[in-house]
Amino acid sequence: MAQKDVGHKVPIHTLKTTEETMNLYDDWSLDDKYNQDMIDWAYSGPEEVVNAFAKHAENKNISILDAGCGSGLVGKKLSQTGFSMLDGADISAGLMKLIPKGIYSNLFKIDLNKPLDFPDSHYDAILCVGTFTYGHVRAKALEEFTRVVKPGGLIGFTINEGVFAEHGFESLLERMVLDRKIVELELFLSDYLASKDVGAWLGIYRVL
């Protein structure tokens, strides 16, 4: 599949290292440019994921980690939907400075490509929106999410359509289902960034 860019001055699909990614987003956060671009581009990922997640999370009093929380777009939607026990984690300190006060109880500066410094079965759910894409978080993070989420808990995410098969996400999810680590509740190609003709696979899985 051809790599689709979102029009930023640094093509996202060319990113190779965590440092490059962090620097990109720290720069993008200046003057609230990131949030304005998400509005201008009609970025639907946070709303689509939270709407799908809420169908399977009937209890609003659950602990949720927003992994790759950025400027808090997912957290804001979760809060509007009635979820309140939220933590956020991201590699970009610049983006996290844009998060409105009162959304997250805790914020962590974390590289999601490394083992997470949380004990097993720590959260009821993890959402990860917009980070599984070119030069960002690799597929193995899904296994860490499964470790950190309690049995019976939920994992929700988007995976850029261009990396879903080529970068091992599809095969890893299939293996985790076969190994009975997770069960698929929903998996479909979402609009994500329809204004830029960039789709993403949206998944909601329950941890076994």
Q: For residue 189, what is the domain's CATH number?
A: 3.40.50.150
What's the mean pLDDT in 57-82? 96
Q: Is residue 6, in this structure, part of any structural domain at all?
A: no
Residue 191 exposure: Cα atoms within 13 Å on the Cβ side: 9
Q: What is the largest CA-CA distance in the chain?
A: 46
Q: Is residue 75, in this structure, part of any structural domain at all?
A: yes
At 40, the pLDDT band (50, 70, 90 cuts) reads: low
Quote the CA–CA distance of 79 and 122 in Å, as a whole number.
Answer: 20
What's the pLDDT at 11? 56
Q: Is residue 59, in this structure, part of any structural domain at all?
A: yes
What's the pLDDT at 195? 76
What's the mean pLDDT in 28-46? 71
More confident of the two residues 151 and 93: 151
pLDDT of 99-146, one tens digit each? 999 999 999 999 999 999 999 999 999 999 999 988 789 999 999 999
Q: By CB neighbour count within 10 A (0-12 exposed, 13-18 middle, 19+ buried), where does 120 fall?
A: exposed
At 22, the pLDDT band (50, 70, 90 cuts) reads: low
Q: Is residue 7, in this structure, part of any structural domain at all?
A: no
What pTM did the predictor assign?
0.87
CA angle, residues 138, 55, 86, in degrees to nearest 5: 60
Pairing outcome for strands 182-193 and 106-109? unpaired
pLDDT of 158-195, one tens digit each? 999 999 999 999 999 999 999 999 999 999 999 888 77
- The yes-or-no verdict on residue 61 having pLDDT over 60 is yes
Q: Is residue 82, in this structure, part of any structural domain at all?
A: yes
Q: Which domain holds residue 31?
A: 12-207
CB within 8 Å of 204: residues ≥ 6 apart: 52, 53, 55, 56, 154, 155, 156, 185, 186, 187
Residue among 154, 107, 86, 151 nearest 126 (CA): 154
- The yes-or-no verdict on residue 7 having pLDDT over 50 is no
Residue among 101, 100, 105 nearest 83 (CA): 105
What's the pLDDT at 29? 62
How many domains, the chain? 1
Is the distance from CB of 183 to CB of 205 less than 8 angstroms?
Answer: yes
- The yes-or-no verdict on residue 1 having pLDDT over 50 is no
What's the mean pLDDT in 21-25? 66
Pairing outcome for strands 149-160 and 106-109? unpaired
At 13, the pLDDT band (50, 70, 90 cuts) reads: low
What's the pLDDT at 6? 46
